[in-house]
Amino acid sequence: MPVIKHPRITEPLCHEWDRKAQKCGFRHTVYAVNGDQYTGEWRDNLKHGKGTQIWKSTGAIYSGDWKFGKRDGYGSYSVPDPVTKEYKKMYTGWWEKDRRGGRGVYFYSNGEQYDGEWRKGLRSGWGKMHYKDSSVYEGQWLKDKPNGQGMLRLPNGNRYEGGWKDGKKHGPGKYFYPDKGQLLEGTWVADIPKCGALVDFERDNAAAPTEFPLPEIELHDPAAVLEEARAMFDDSHN
């Protein structure tokens, strides 16, 4: 009896190649067409888990967590120095959807440093900023600017504690002059003190106090003065 042989069903070669090319789990270094390279974990053909990415165009390196092809979780980002070619850490902390999100430290190229909270790649929340002139701001941020309550300490020891808006002193606040032993307490609008009172503050411990103490000023109607200050502050918000 003759034996009938049926041809074996085979998938197209291109399908087999595509299946073998799908990346899932841990793989060795994979190179992109533009020269970028990634070493780490994959899921469903996307970077997912722990991995390190090197961008050929800039030489920058990210090492940390990935989620469905984007930096998400904890990781650090470093760039090479244009002169020495040595790698300098630019940011280390938390990421969300490929942008800085959560708590992290950013090292600026001019030597400044920010340690605090981030949202959508911008300084937002509570954070501490060290400026290149040695000033330090610690407080609330919104969209990369001091906003809310915060304290700014200047290199000469003077400091401001109070409200901020769009990066400027705004609202009730106190400005301390430790070297003179004085305190200005009042209301600021767009970095300018609009009203307030200058009084002695720990004058006995001041390094260079004024020759004479400030006289005490008695207000005939302090409630009216306070109400006027509040009105000026409210008008600036309208």
Give the side-chain half-sphere CA count within 13 A for 162.
Answer: 21
Strands 168-177 and 159-165: antiparallel
CA distances from 35 to 40, 55, 66, 71, 135 (A): 16, 7, 20, 19, 42
Nearest Cα to 109, choosing from 128, 136, 82, 134?
82
Choice among 43-57, 89-103, 191-205 with the minimum mean pLDDT: 191-205
113-164 pLDDT, tens per residue?
A: 999 999 999 999 999 999 999 999 999 999 999 999 999 999 999 999 999 9
Number of domains the chain is built from: 2
Average predicted confidence (pLDDT) for the chain: 85
Q: Check whether residue 64 and residue 96 sit in a common domain.
A: yes
**Boundary-marking domain end, from 55, 81, 107:** 107
Q: Check whether residue 130 and residue 233 sit in a common domain.
A: yes
Q: Check whether residue 89 and residue 129 sit in a common domain.
A: no
Contact 118, 101 (CB under 8 A): yes
pLDDT at 172 over 60: yes
212-229 pLDDT, tens per residue?
A: 555 555 444 545 555 665
Q: Check whether residue 175 and residue 138 sit in a common domain.
A: yes
Q: Check whether residue 150 and residue 223 sit in a common domain.
A: yes
Residue 4 lies in a domain: no
Contact 154, 135 (CB under 8 A): yes
Q: Check whether residue 156 and residue 217 sit in a common domain.
A: yes
Report the CATH number that the domain containing residue 135 is assigned in CATH.
2.20.110.10
Is the whole-model pTM more than 0.85? no
pLDDT at 204 over 70: no
Report the CATH number that the domain containing residue 56 is assigned in CATH.
2.20.110
**Boundary-marking domain end, from 107, 133, 161:** 107
pLDDT at 17 over 50: no
Q: Whole domain around residue 196: which residue ranges? A: 119-237
Q: What is the mean pLDDT of residues 194-214?
A: 70
CB within 8 A of 207, min separation 6: which ones?
178, 179
